[in-house]
Structure 1
Amino acid sequence: MLISLNDTLSWHVSVEDDRFRLSDFLLDPDTHRPVYMILDLGGWFETDHALVAVSLMQHPDLDSGMLPLAIRADELRQAPHWREEKGGLSSLLTSLPPLVVGPFGATHAPLAMAVEGMGDTSQDDVDGDPAAQEALTRYERFTDWRDKPVFARDGEVGRLSDILHDIENGEISHFVVDSGHEEGGQVLAIPSALLRHHAETEKGGHIVLNTGIEAIRTAPRVGENEKLTGGWQPALKRHFALAT
């Protein structure tokens, strides 16, 4: 079964009776396989994140956008985790005046009160545990791949808009490329077997395919509503002369 990594970022995952937002994937830079999901566990001043192995995915409910995970709530609490300050908090705190004179002449400091209200948060809580930090350093975020330029052997062909992931074998199945030539309701899916090179994010993050511009231009397009069915894959393999 295929899933769209881009679509899943608008889904929720279910762990027993709890629901959490799926915010990103971590990809192995060597095999390009999705390894971890990043879950947003919520939080008030900070957002709690946890890493859960992609192998724990179960078949999703595409209609409701719900992805069940084969993990218990107590196991999720033990998963690698870290906290990030919510983006709006810094701007809120910096906008508060350092000292305010009240209507009866008393003074108070809203900034100090806000910081005090946050409670004591250790550096370890903010940075997360070592396992999470190691994974975030080693692996690449899907959202860092998205919208990066895609090149054929003889020139640029578009930008990466999505990745199709095969739940059954844990592999990336296809890259979805926006070439600017797709008609409404159609997408261009390129077999992952054609991946020749993916540059590190620091070097632009571009993708190079082992095929030519003409082969991509004439490749059969896939209907947006059919991209997860997989029935179009044999024709695409024949077009690119890949083993079926």
Structure 2
Amino acid sequence: MLYSLTDLLTWKLDAEAEGLVLSDLVFDAGSGRLVYVSLSTGRDSEGQALAPAALLGAPDPASRSLPMRITEKELSDAPRWTGETYQVDSLVSAMPPLVVGPFGATHAPLALAAFLPSSDDEDRPTDPRAEAALDRYDRLGRWLDRPVFGSDAEMGHLADMLWDPQANRIAYLVIGRGGFFSSRRHAVPFSALSYRAPGAKGGHLVLDLPASALDAAPAPDSLLGGE
């Protein structure tokens, strides 16, 4: 079975330590293997904890919960980093330049970004172990909403990833096309990824596919629950 990684971020963690929230996922861009999960304890002063993804159990769709085999001591000893607010950044950047409110007033969502904390300032690790891990691997939060290019043209933006827990591999990239109110999504194999260009805001992705390949690509919903 395949699972949406952005959806999993909303699932409940079933762990010995109470109040844990899954805040991000760290993976190997070369193989698609999930390496770490980022855990929020709900106490901002403690930062985010990086725990091995191998501690995750099998997802339970019925209860929308993820078993996490981590003890209080393991959580206390885990590497820490400061986290970021990529969900807000992605939402704001996807909205149109002007939004008309219910009473006719106009608002500029992009202007809001100037008042948001900079994710580049917030996601600097404070623990050398976390710094080494995040330098070596990539995070879902750094990839979401980044532009995606094919071999001949721009394809859209990265909207999600589909994960196979049995193989512990990201199986598909979900490419979004269209605007905030009329978007379409297509799933392409993770193996089609050929390059990730670095950049201050996450850079962009390049696939070894022509842009026209999206026309025949399946909708991600058709892949969830099995290939």
Query: Under a length normalisation based on structure 1, what TM-score does the superposition of the two structures give?
Result: 0.66
For 2:154, the equivalent position in structure 1 comes to 156
CA distance in 1: counterparts of 2:83 and 2:186, whole angstroms = 36
2:20 matches 1:20: yes
* Aligned partner of residue 130 in structure 2, secondary structure: helix
1:140-159 per-residue CA deviation (whole Å, 9 max, x = no partner) reads 22111000111111101111
For 1:228, the equivalent position in structure 2 comes to 224
The structure-2 alpha-carbon separation of the partners of 1:166 and 1:220, relative to structure 1 and needing over 3 Å to count, comes to closer
Does the 8 A contact of 1:12 with 1:19 survive in 2? no
RMSD of Structure 2 on Structure 1 (CA): 3.0
For 2:33, the equivalent position in structure 1 comes to 33
Larger Rg: 1
Does the 8 A contact of 1:39 with 1:52 survive in 2? yes
Unaligned runs of at least 5 residues, structure 2:
86-123
- Segments of 4+ moved more than 4 angstroms: 82-86
CA distance in 2: counterparts of 1:56 and 1:178, whole angstroms = 31
Does the 8 A contact of 2:143 with 2:202 survive in 1? no
Unaligned runs of at least 5 residues, structure 1:
87-125, 232-244
Which amino acid is the alignment partner of residue 77 of structure 1?
S
CA distance in 2: counterparts of 1:40 and 1:133, whole angstroms = 17
Does the 8 A contact of 2:161 with 2:170 survive in 1? yes
* Aligned partner of residue 60 in structure 1, secondary structure: coil
1:44-55 paired onto structure 2 within 5 Å: 46-55=45-54
Q: How many residues align?
A: 188
Does the 8 A contact of 1:153 with 1:213 survive in 2? yes
1:86-111 per-residue CA deviation (whole Å, 9 max, x = no partner) reads 9xxxxxxxxxxxxxxxxxxxxxxxxx
2:164 matches 1:166: yes
The higher relative CO (CA closer than 8 Å, separation ≥ 6) is in 2
Which amino acid is the alignment partner of residue 145 of structure 2?
D
**What percentage of residue pairs aligned between the two structures are identical?**
37
